[in-house]
């Protein structure tokens, strides 16, 4: 019977549309959750974030995995390039370090969001340093009076 067939087709179309909408909701919910957490929480969920790739459009605030365990936040909208690697392009990416790492490698600050402040610790050229004041954007070599070398 034709009416029964039309009703069946309509039911299948509605079920397919509902499944598609639910999948989109799950994707949007996941993206909102991943975007809405702080860097420390994001780092603990790093496998859920996409891997960095050349030729992609990235938006400010995106977080990405790269290399062997690297994790970064995008600092400005851009299209990625093979020669703009995340750990080598501080104007585009901020490396998110594990807060459990006591002496992370020195990273040149690119703005107010990632300057060093009193008590921050870093490793610079194999030596450990503690920052002595707020808003320091220079290395221990460039601004030695802002840093205290740690006793070994």
Q: What is the pLDDT of residue 42?
A: 92
The answer for residues whose C-beta is within 8 angstroms of residue 94's C-beta and 6 or more apart is: 72, 73, 75, 107, 110, 113, 114
The pLDDT score that the predictor gives to residue 56 is: 97
What SS3 state is found at 65?
A: strand
Q: What is the pLDDT of residue 114?
A: 80
Quick one: CA dihedral 58, 69, 90, 98, positive or negative? positive
> Which tokens belong to 17?
């549309």
State residue 111's pLDDT score: 78
Helix (H) or strand (E) holding 31: helix 2-36
| Burial (Cβ within 10 Å: 0-12, 13-18, ≥19) of residue 65 | middle
Spatial distance between the Cα atoms of 54 and 60, rounded to a whole number of angstroms: 16
pLDDT of residue 150: 92
> The domain 102-152 belongs to what CATH superfamily?
Carbohydrate-binding module superfamily 5/12 (2.10.10.20)
Please check whether residue 31 is in contact with residue 61, taking contact to mean a CB–CB distance below 8 angstroms: no
pLDDT the model gives residue 64: 96
- Distance between CA atoms of 152 and 124, rounded to whole angstroms? 14
Q: What is the pLDDT along the chain (152 residues), one digit of tens a residue?
A: 899 999 999 999 999 999 999 999 999 998 898 989 988 899 989 999 999 999 999 999 999 999 888 899 999 999 999 999 998 888 899 888 877 778 888 988 877 778 899 999 999 999 999 999 999 999 999 999 999 999 87
């Amino acid at each position: 019977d034709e009416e029964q067939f039309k009703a069946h087709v309509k039911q299948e179309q509605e079920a397919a549309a509902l499944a598609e909408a639910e999948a989109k909701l799950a994707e949007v919910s996941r993206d909102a959750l991943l975007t809405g957490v702080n860097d420390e929480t994001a780092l603990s969920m790093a496998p859920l974030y996409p891997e960095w790739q050349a030729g992609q459009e990235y938006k400010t605030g995106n977080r990405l995995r790269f290399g062997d365990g690297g994790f970064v936040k995008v600092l400005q909208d851009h299209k990625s390039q093979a020669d703009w690697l995340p750990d080598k392009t501080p104007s585009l990416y901020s490396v998110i370090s594990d807060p459990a790492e006591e002496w992370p490698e020195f990273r040149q600050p690119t703005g107010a969001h990632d300057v060093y402040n009193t008590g921050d610790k870093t490793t610079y050229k194999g030596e450990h340093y503690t920052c002595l004041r707020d808003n320091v954007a220079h290395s221990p070599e460039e601004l030695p009076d802002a840093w205290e070398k740690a006793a070994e």
